[in-house]
Amino acid sequence: MKPLIGITSDLDENGEIWVQANYSRAILEAGGLPVVLPAGLEDNEQVCDRLDGLLLTGGEDVNPLNYDEEPHQQLGELSPERDTMELALARYMTDQDKPVLGICRGHQVLNVAFGGTIYQHIYSQLSGEILQHKQQADRDFATHSIDIVCGSKLEKMAGASEIQVNSLHLQAVNKVNSPLVVTAVAKDGVIEAVESKAHRFVMGVQWHPEALVNYKDPTSLQLFKQFIEASKKS
């Protein structure tokens, strides 16, 4: 049986549930069975009992009150119903040691779920020359490099200490709390990936691997394959 992977979704201003099809395609491509979870869902614990893996997708900014900060002037749009649901899902899944992959916003949600914090606007809150992290190119092109930490799961997937990724964010992970550790940084020091030292598979990436999978980026495909492989053991 293919592992059942929950994919979180967005709730737009018209009340429509919405998620980019790329995420499901990447899960299918890697051998999993995707199921979209409606934003605002409340039976999170029951859902987690049935899922083999959880994919936290991209989207709006996490409400900073979730990490005990007040909103910065440059904070973007929020989706409070997603925050509540996704933080609960991330905690239930990791409590059961079921695999979680966080992408972009999902990577930040994962960090907050473990007690970490977020830079609400990197250009206002980080000093020095910060690279362009909200690329002007299509999301299926890589635009900046990242350095991968030696000995990490990500390094094994990449088979290299440096890869190129796409970048569509104005926020970034700030403080990272145990058992999460930083596993990749951009050349300006912005954190681009985290993983757990205490779980079978808990990873967050700031870039969008789902947009690179179809273009045969080996690391992105490997990331989804390892995620599905780990979910088979749930």
Q: Which residues bind Mn ion (CB under 5 A)?
A: 133, 167
Residue 48 appears among annotated catalytic residues: no
Instruction: Give SS3 for 100.
Output: strand
Q: Least distance (Å) from Mn ion to the CB of residue 168?
A: 8
Residue 45 appears among annotated catalytic residues: no
Residue 13 appears among annotated catalytic residues: no
Q: Least distance (Å) from Mn ion to the CB of residue 99?
A: 23
- For residues 84, 54, 23, 225, the Cα torsion angle rounded to the nearest 10 degrees is 160
Q: Least distance (Å) from Mn ion to the CB of residue 131?
A: 7
Which member of 86, 104, 144, 192 is catalytic?
104
Q: Which is nearer to Mn ion, 167 or 231 (CB)?
A: 167
- The region that residue 15 occupies, defined by phi over 0 for left and psi between -120 and 50 for alpha, beta otherwise, is left
Q: What is the CA radius of gyration of the chain?
A: 16
User: For residue 193, how far is the Cα from the chain centroid?
Assistant: 9
Which member of 144, 169, 199, 208 is catalytic?
208
Instruction: Give SS3 for 144.
Output: strand
Q: What number of other Cβ atoms are within 10 A of residue 8's Cβ?
A: 27
Q: Which is nearer to Mn ion, 94 or 167 (CB)?
A: 167
Q: Least distance (Å) from Mn ion to the CB of residue 147?
A: 12
Q: Which residues contact 81 (CB under 8 A, 6 or more apart)?
A: 11, 39, 40
Closest to 227 measured CA to CA, from 19, 50, 31: 31
Q: Which is nearer to Mn ion, 35 or 131 (CB)?
A: 131
Q: Which is nearer to Mn ion, 79 or 167 (CB)?
A: 167
**Number of residue whose CB is nearest Mn ion:** 167
The catalytic residues are: 104, 208, 210
